[in-house]
Structure 1
Amino acid sequence: MITPYDHNALWLKAKLFLHKAMEDEEVRPFDERALWAALALELLAKSALARQSPLLIATPDTDGTNVLIALGLIGGTARFESVPAKAVFSRCEKAFKPFNKREAEKIAWARNEYLHSASAEFTRIPESAWWPRFWAQAVVLISACDKEIEDLVGYSRTDLVRGYLEQNKKNLEHRAEMLIERARQRRAQYEAGTLQQRVANEWQPGRVLTAGLGHSEPVDCPACGAMGYLEGEDVSGVDTEYQQIAEDDYDVIVTLTVDASYFSCEHCGLVLDDYSLLEPAGLEDTFYTPGDASDVAGYEGEYGND
């Protein structure tokens, strides 16, 4: 019997669904193919997490049954329940960069709307634009499973997927360029006194645009050159240096490596609220910021026994 949290079984099921999703339009309409693809995306995400540990997809319950099943301590007729798609995508975003949970959730929401409402349309996004966005997320999960594109879709369809990925890259570059040019134009209109009142009501120089994430770093704005801020929540690295300040006393200097996910500039109003836009805009996807001793694993500070 195949266990419900087996990552290989989840991968094979995703592969089966993708086969249905990539059939010719004459066989299945786009709405139906998109539905199969959306189901496959969640299975890929679960497979990637379960490959690391089945505990990552086990639903927490009061008596710990799911956790015990995932650990192989309970068998028989015990039923295993996995966490919902929202939790799966959130965990994948943290574990497998640059997976984007918001993009994945949009796909899942469209799937739910299609299944549970009276709507006969999966999405209003044109098929030509939908597939590049889908594959941008799926390819991250394929890599997290230590697989290649051809392992999932076969050699005959690999070039098609790579074409979608290249198109998505160009779409991101165009969007970043558009946002930068709009910010430059907005600043120029403000300085010339020709900024429309409607726009002026939404943005004025100096208005706080930061997201309030846990860490930030000042950097040059790619639109106007003024000081903007990269922000991020997730710390991907901790570097420590010990400096002796007395015979038996040391200072701990901690530097955190933070994954950037947001940029804003008060001077021109540029906001990049998706880390997939940072690189096309010429910004780094990580930055360094000072930490403290509490960020070092195992550090307990002074015991206070003097």
Structure 2
Amino acid sequence: MTKLPNPALQTEALYSKSQVYISKGLRAKLANDLEEYQLWASLALELLAKSSLSRVHPALVADPTHYQSLFAACGISVSPEIKTITAKTLFLRLSHISKSFDLRVREFCEQLALRRNSEIHSGESPFSGMKAEAWEMKYWHAIEVILEMQKRELDEWLGAEDSKAPKEILQNAERAVQMAVQTRIDHKREDFEKLHKNKVKREELIEQSKSIRYWDHWKKFEYSVDGYESSKCPSCSAFGILGGVLWHEEVSDEYDEDDPFTEYVEKTFSTEEFLCPTCGLHLAGTRELYVTDLPEEFCQTEEREREFEPEYGND
């Protein structure tokens, strides 16, 4: 008989508790208590995030330095004390489950958790005077991304009635992002054509961009990414640079018979940023990138020295 993990690490228990907390938050909002609203909302987000991570395996939520918690994640009770991972570790791990949980979403979640910790554990009042408009749009986007990991929707989490306002915020935000990105693309195209009115000159610049070197431009990226790839700019058609976060890697079946010490590793990167040095177009975050036809991911093959298992029992 399979033993269930401790409720502190169970997907459904964490999910249900997050529902209770966001319900408290929405009641606080109705009462115009925006500080309490943000506090409950931050707690609900972290619990919902843990439920999504626990869905992969409860051990991912347990503190790896606390063996009692690891046992609890496997359904074995060693101690009533359960410790879970930090918010920073939680959000980092979530970024490996969904590409939509990108660096921007992760950064927002981490900052919200820091404000929450400061609110609870110090004399500071980071929630004081902060209007809902300053964080609410990003909050509901993060919630939607986390719910998507569980194939769930706002209606299910909040209830149909309570989900109306957040849905409207999300729809407005999505339209705003789409319009802003499309306008930025159009403006960069117009600026490029005005600056280089000669069509032949524009074609020369586009041709030159084919030999673009990412190491000449990496400082212009907002985030520190793991890999780069060239891709055609949706604005000026020159070649720009995609920046991606390592999503997956596996050792290739291919090998060189003349070089048994080398293996080939196929790496997949989730695209999180795009920069075109030719026209200056800059897109950051999956929400902006998904508006365009730029690839959501790219792959590269890397050579590295093969690691051999040590021999045992031959001394």
* TM value normalised by structure 2: 0.73
Query: Measured at CA, do residues 51 and 212 of structure 1 come closer, stay the same or move farther in structure 2, by a change above 3 Å?
Result: closer
Q: Aligned residue for 1:166?
A: 171
Q: 1:14 to 1:290 in 2, by over 3 A?
A: same
Q: Secondary structure at the match of 1:260?
A: strand
Matched AA of 2:70 = V
Find the counterpart in structure 1 of residue 99 from structure 2.
97
1:236-273 CA-partner distances (Å, limit 9, x unpaired): 4769686999xxxxxx9876543111211222333323
Taking the TM superposition and a 5 Å limit, the aligned residue runs for 1:1-306 are 3-23=7-27, 25-61=29-65, 64-77=67-80, 79-99=81-101, 100-115=105-120, 116-119=122-125, 121-122=127-128, 124=130, 126-128=131-133, 130-177=135-182, 179-180=184-185, 183=188, 208=217, 209=220, 213-236=225-248, 256-291=267-302
Counterpart code for 1:57: V
Match of 1:157, SS? coil
The structural deviation recorded for 1:36 is 0.8
Greater shift after overlay, 95-104 or 282-291? 282-291
Asked whether the equivalents of residues 2 and 9 of structure 1 are also in contact (C-alpha less than 8 Å), the reply is no
**Equivalent in the alignment of 2:205:** none
CA distance in 1 between partners of 2:21 and 2:272 (Å) = 31
- Is this contact kept in 2: 1:216–1:289, CA < 8 A? no
- Aligned-partner Cα distance in 1 for 2:114–2:28: 24
| Equivalent-residue separation in structure 1 for 2:116 and 2:179 (angstroms) | 27
How has the CA–CA distance of structure 1 residues 121 and 71 changed in structure 2, closer, same or farther, with 3 Å as cutoff?
Answer: closer
Mind listing any 5+ residue stretches in structure 2 that lack a counterpart?
Answer: 198-211, 258-262, 309-315
Any idea what the Cα deviations from partners look like across 1:82-128, whole Å, max 9, x if unmatched?
A: 1111111111111123122112123223333444343364464x424
Q: CA separation in 1, counterparts of 2:251 and 2:303?
A: 10
- The DSSP-based 3-state class of the residue aligned with 1:289 is strand
Change (3 A) 1:272 1:76: same
Structure 1 residue 142, shift from structure 2 partner:
1.8
Residue ranges of structure 1 left out of the alignment (5+ in a row):
193-204, 246-251, 302-306
How well do the aligned residues superpose, as a CA RMSD in angstroms? 3.7
SS in 1 for 2:99: coil
How far did 1:153 drift?
0.8
Alignment partners' CA distance in 2, 1:219 and 1:37 = 39
Q: How many Å apart are 1:129 and its aligned residue? A: 5.6
Change (3 A) 1:240 1:160: same
Q: Which moved more, 1:141-150 or 1:37-46?
A: 141-150
- Between the aligned residues of both structures, percent identity stands at 24
Structure-2 separation of matches of 1:228 and 1:2: 49
Look up the match of 1:199. none
Taking a change above 3 Å as real, the CA distance of residues 241 and 280 of structure 1, as seen in their structure-2 partners, is same
Give SS of 2:8's match. Answer: coil
Count of residues in correspondence between the two structures: 280
Query: 1:218-247: CA deviations, max 9, x gaps?
Result: 1112233221011213234769686999xx
**Counterpart Cα distance in 2 of 1:240 and 1:75:** 42
